[in-house]
Amino acid sequence: MLAAEACFDALAKECQHDELTAYPEAFKASWLHEELHLSRNFKPWMAKGLKLGSLMFGIDQMVFGGKAPWTLHNTKPDHAKLKLAADTQPIIYPKPDGVLNFDRLSSVFLSSTNHEEDQPCHLQLKDAAIPISVNLAQYDAPEQRFCPAGVYEILRDENGSNPRLQINAQNCVHCKTCDIKDPSQNINWVVPQGGEGPTYPNM
Ligand code: SF4
Q: Which residue spans of the chain are classified as CATH 3.30.70.20? A: 81-189
Tell me the C-alpha distance between 121 and 108, whole Å. Answer: 18
**Which of 110, 189, 112 lies closest to 146 in space, CA to CA?**
189
Q: Is 176 in the pocket of ligand 1 (CB under 6 A)?
A: yes
Please provide the average confidence, as pLDDT, over all residues in the chain.
Answer: 93
Closest residue (by CA) to atom 2 of ligand 1?
Answer: 175
Structure confidence at residue 186 as a pLDDT band (50, 70, 90): very high
Q: Is 166 in the pocket of ligand 1 (CB under 6 A)?
A: no
Cα of first residue to Cα of last residue in the chain, in angstroms, is 17
The residues, ordered by sequence, that sit 6+ positions from 121 with a Cβ below 8 Å of its Cβ are: 167, 169
Output the pTM of the full model.
Answer: 0.78
Closest residue (by CA) to atom 1 of ligand 1?
Answer: 176
The mean pLDDT value for 133-147 works out to 97
Q: Is 151 in the pocket of ligand 1 (CB under 6 A)?
A: yes
Q: What are phi and psi of 163, to 5 degrees?
A: -65, 140
Residue 116 scores a pLDDT above 90 = no
H or E segment to which residue 19 belongs: none
- Count each helix (H run) and each strand (E run) in the chain, helices first: 10, 4
- Asked if 42 and 35 touch (Cβ cutoff 8 Å), the reply is no
Which residue of 109, 113, 143, 178 sits with most ligand 1 atoms within 8 Å of its CB, as the best mutation to test the pocket?
178
Q: What are phi and psi of 58, to 5 degrees?
A: -60, -45
Task: Summarize pLDDT for 77-92 with one digit per residue, the tens.
Answer: 999 999 999 999 999 9
Residue 19 scores a pLDDT above 90 = no
CATH 3.40.50.300 fits 81-189, yes or no: no
Phi-psi region of 30 (alpha: psi -120 to 50; beta: other; left: phi over 0): beta
Task: Summarize pLDDT for 153-184 with one digit per residue, the tens.
Answer: 999 999 999 999 999 999 999 999 999 999 99
